[in-house]
Amino acid sequence: MRTILVATVLVLAGGASAFAQGEPAYMDDRSNPANLLKSYYNAINRREFARAWSYFGDTKPSSSLDAFAKGFDDTESVDVLVGEPGVEGAAGSTFFSVPVAITARSRGGGESVFAGCYTLRLANPQIQGDAFEPLHIEKGTLRASDKPMEESLPDNCGGGPTPKADAILDQARKMFATDYAGQCTGIRPDGSTDAPEDYTIAWRYHTAAEDEPDQKARLLRFFCGTGAYNESHVYYLWKEVEGLRQVQFATPELDIRYENDDHEGKVESMTIIGYTAQDQLVNSGYDDETRTITSLSKWRGVGDASSSGMWIFRDGAFTLVKYEVDATYDGEINPETVLDFDTGP
């Protein structure tokens, strides 16, 4: 059964006293999409057009406030019917698609029914800056209907069931925007980001019994930034027990010795002297078939000097299994393997 909210409001001409003439009580509530839309019509019908105008974001419904107000010159009263909103997260924001039907009464006594959808947007309040932007109307499209208002209300605004909020994706976006604010150009000033690459991984511990069900993991890859010839990404991994965490990638620390200490010369030796962890990978990607993440960091544009790694997903984590380094700036691509647990004997 659909949930609907009905608001009946009266428009008065001139400057009559609000309470003496039955003007609707002032309502200014942005706590949810339905109340915001009721507040919008409340402002219109109290002839507080500047307030009604303020419920829209940067995209306004008319070319000017005066033109917007003039559009309601002949309106006497409006009944508003609000349906259950659909919810969808995108790029650090929550979007609400709200079914609406209205009955507009003119000063001459005529009635017209209109129905359609409003789109409302709320940028994540926890990652906004000083110029806070509250829940607001992005756009609204209403069309004339020849049916009564109650029959005209759309079942939904999207052609399908109300989409469910993606809590894992929202949490990952928030973590990325918080962890890398000011560091990654992939994070916009309002804290929003492009949608990450999103992979679901079915896996089992190697000690799991044969009749145990698969576990599910989710890998999210966020774009961080681009340099002259490299681009970097940040990864987050969700598992049912551990929850969401950033992936840290084990990386060999190398002691590279050059002939005559000339970095442009011949490499005499490369020795692993320890391991570090990287929170970003360069020129990387995930292969769903092999369950591996690979990276290739170019030390200069022509790519004749570089380092590359491979991390395989097993037992619920990404493990370094191969690492190659081309430490010679000789114009040729000739990497040397310094670690290999991937190639068979």
Domain membership of residue 64 (yes or no) is yes
- Tokens for 253, please give them: 């620390």
Domain membership of residue 158 (yes or no) is no
172 and 126 part of one domain: no
Supply the pLDDT for residue 20: 37
Domain membership of residue 162 (yes or no) is no
Residue 101's nearest CA partner among 48, 143, 138 is 143
88 and 185 part of one domain: no
Domain membership of residue 157 (yes or no) is no
30 and 124 part of one domain: yes
139 and 171 part of one domain: no
Check: pTM over 0.85? Answer yes or no: no
Supply the pLDDT for residue 320: 98
Domain membership of residue 256 (yes or no) is yes
Domain boundary among 129, 152, 175: 152
Burial of 331 (0-12, 13-18, 19+ CB in 10 A): exposed
Q: How far apart are CA 12 and CA 40, in angstroms?
A: 16
Supply the pLDDT for residue 229: 85
Question: Residue 168 carries which side chain, given as an amino acid letter?
Answer: I
Q: Could you tell me the CATH number of the domain that includes residue 80?
A: 3.10.450.50
Q: Split the chain (345 residues) into runs of 10 and give each run's mean pLDDT.
A: 42 35 82 92 90 93 91 88 82 84 90 93 82 90 91 76 67 94 90 89 90 92 90 95 94 93 86 97 95 95 93 96 94 93 81
187 and 279 part of one domain: yes
Domain membership of residue 235 (yes or no) is yes
30 and 100 part of one domain: yes
Supply the pLDDT for residue 124: 83
Q: Where are the beta strands (DSSP E) in the chain?
A: 5-10, 75-82, 86-90, 93-106, 111-123, 136-145, 197-203, 215-226, 231-239, 243-246, 249-258, 267-278, 281-282, 285-287, 292-298, 306-314, 317-326, 336-340
Residue 319's nearest CA partner among 300, 281, 293, 285 is 293
Q: How far apart are CA 292 and CA 80, in angstroms?
A: 54
Question: Residue 320 carries which side chain, given as an amino acid letter?
Answer: L
Supply the pLDDT for residue 13: 32
192 and 125 part of one domain: no
142 and 200 part of one domain: no
209 and 321 part of one domain: yes
Domain membership of residue 37 (yes or no) is yes
Q: How far apart are CA 274 and CA 251, in angstroms?
A: 9
According to DSSP, residue 261 is labeled G
Domain boundary among 97, 118, 152: 152
Q: Is-contact 227 280, C-beta < 8 A?
A: no
Query: What range does the domain containing 249 cover?
Result: 167-340
Long-range residue pairs from 334-341, CB within 8 A, at least 24 positions apart, any chain: 335/306, 335/308, 336/267, 336/270, 338/252, 338/254, 338/270, 338/272, 339/252, 339/272
Q: Is-contact 152 101, C-beta < 8 A?
A: yes
Supply the pLDDT for residue 269: 92
108 and 195 part of one domain: no
294 and 171 part of one domain: yes
45 and 127 part of one domain: yes
Q: How many domains does the chain have?
A: 2
Q: How far apart are CA 147 and CA 113, in angstroms?
A: 7
Domain boundary among 94, 117, 152: 152
Domain membership of residue 257 (yes or no) is yes
